[in-house]
Amino acid sequence: MKTFALQLFSGLSIGAVYALIALGFTVIFRASRIINFAQGELLALGALLTSSLISAHGLPFWLAFLIGAALTAAAGFAFQTLVLRFAVGKPDFTIVMLTLGLATVLAAALDAGFGAYPRSNGDPWGSSVVHVFGLALLWVQVWTIVTAVVLLVAFRLFNKHTKYGLAMRSTAADTEAAVAVGIPLRRVHGSAWVLAGLVACVGGVFLGGFPNTVSPSISDVTFFAFPAIILGGIDSTTGAVVGGFIIGVVQQLTAGYQPTYAAFLGQDFYIAAPYIVMIIVLLVRPYGLFGSRPAERL
């Protein structure tokens, strides 16, 4: 029982990171109807920046975290301003491929700039634990869940109650109508990328917490988060969060129990498991659990 509770808790903590990644995807999808394939590289960028600000410049963790997040957000904004702005109105395929290009460029630049070796994320918690009901919970996992929940709630409030949130929601609902009533599309897209950069950095730093490390290859985590966004429905922020937590828990429990209880499934099943869950869900609900089915017109 104790092991199960611990596995579940780790699952929730990974799920929180997935939820943040999924939120990053959803924000951009709602603003411009595309999937940002560079979300993983933004996440690695944020984590590497924060980590090296701490190790090379001796900044305190929270300050480094803030600067790292600001720089990652700036990178997202720069890509929107320098590249994507010129692709407005082009087919979705083109824009998605542009983000794939950014992913390729960023991955190579991070590799060359920071080096491929794993390093500490520089957080102050390390491997310290807190005892709750006799369970030894990692502080970093507690903070991951807390931060993710705070950010998700903050995003919800931002989305519901601010002018920018309203602009984003109306762009998501109908881009042309939004432009017609004078919503500045460029600024909406820009702020979507800023938000995506922010949550990417937060996700990256927490993902690199004990027992994990930070290296350019942590960008791969987005491929585990893809099932989360698809599962939840890509245009739904609630869906992103629910999907993230489901996939995190499924993955962690499979990694923990499948080798003993379902050994015939072989090694590395936990990598394939989220995708299998996703495909089953999609066969039943092609637009995910919370996604909206687009109406089609000729």
Partner 1 sequence: MSSFPRSALAGLGRHPARLSTVLVVIIGILLPFWVDAYWLSTLVFVLVAALGALGLDVLTGRTGQISLGHAFFLMVGAYTGGYLGVNLHESALFWIPAAGIVAGLLGAVAATTAMRLRGLYLGIVTIGLVYIGQWVATNWTTVSGGSGGRTLAVPGNGTFSFANGLHLGSLSITENGLYYYTAFVLLALGMMYVHNLGHSRVGRNMAAVRDRELAAAVLGVNVARTKTTAFIVSSIMAGVAGAMYGSFLSFVTPGQFDLLLSIQYVIIVVVGGLGALWGPLLGAFFVVGLPALLQNEAASLPFLEGGTRTTGIPVTDATDLLYGVLLIVFLLVEPRGIVGLAHRIGSLVRRRRATPKELGVVPSLTQEG
Binding site for partner 1 (CB under 8 A): 34-35, 83, 86-87, 90, 92-94, 96-98, 100-109, 111-112, 223, 226-227, 229-230, 234, 265-269, 271-272, 275-276, 278-279, 282-283, 286-287, 296-298
Q: 72, 197 in Cβ contact below 8 A? A: yes
| Three-state secondary-structure class, residue 115 | coil
Residue 129: in which H helix or E strand, if any?
Answer: strand 129-132
Q: 238, 153 in Cβ contact below 8 A? A: no
- Which token pair is 238? 């609630």
Nearest to partner 1 of 124, 286 (CB atom) = 286
- Which token pair is 24? 């990053």
The nearest distance, CB 152 to partner 1, in angstroms, is 22
Nearest to partner 1 of 134, 267 (CB atom) = 267
Q: For residue 35, which phi and psi values (nearest 5 degrees)?
A: -95, 130
The nearest distance, CB 133 to partner 1, in angstroms, is 36
Nearest to partner 1 of 60, 115 (CB atom) = 115
Nearest to partner 1 of 117, 133 (CB atom) = 117
The nearest distance, CB 230 to partner 1, in angstroms, is 5
Nearest to partner 1 of 130, 263 (CB atom) = 263
Q: 182, 81 in Cβ contact below 8 A? A: no
The nearest distance, CB 83 to partner 1, in angstroms, is 6
Instruction: Tell me the C-alpha distance between 219 and 142, whole Å.
Output: 22
Nearest to partner 1 of 130, 279 (CB atom) = 279
Residue keyed to tokens 């992103």:
240
Instruction: Tell me the C-alpha distance between 57 and 182, whole Å.
Output: 45
Instruction: Tell me the C-alpha distance between 192 and 215, whole Å.
Output: 26
* DSSP character string of 82-98: HTGGGGTTS-HHHHHHH
Strand 129-132 vs strand 135-138: parallel, antiparallel, or unpaired?
antiparallel
The nearest distance, CB 48 to partner 1, in angstroms, is 14
For residue 279, what are the contacts with CB-CB under 8 A and spacing of at least 6? none
The nearest distance, CB 73 to partner 1, in angstroms, is 20
Number of CB atoms found within 10 A of residue 56's CB: 8
N residues, the chain? 298
Nearest to partner 1 of 197, 291 (CB atom) = 291
The nearest distance, CB 268 to partner 1, in angstroms, is 5
Nearest to partner 1 of 208, 274 (CB atom) = 274
The nearest distance, CB 249 to partner 1, in angstroms, is 18
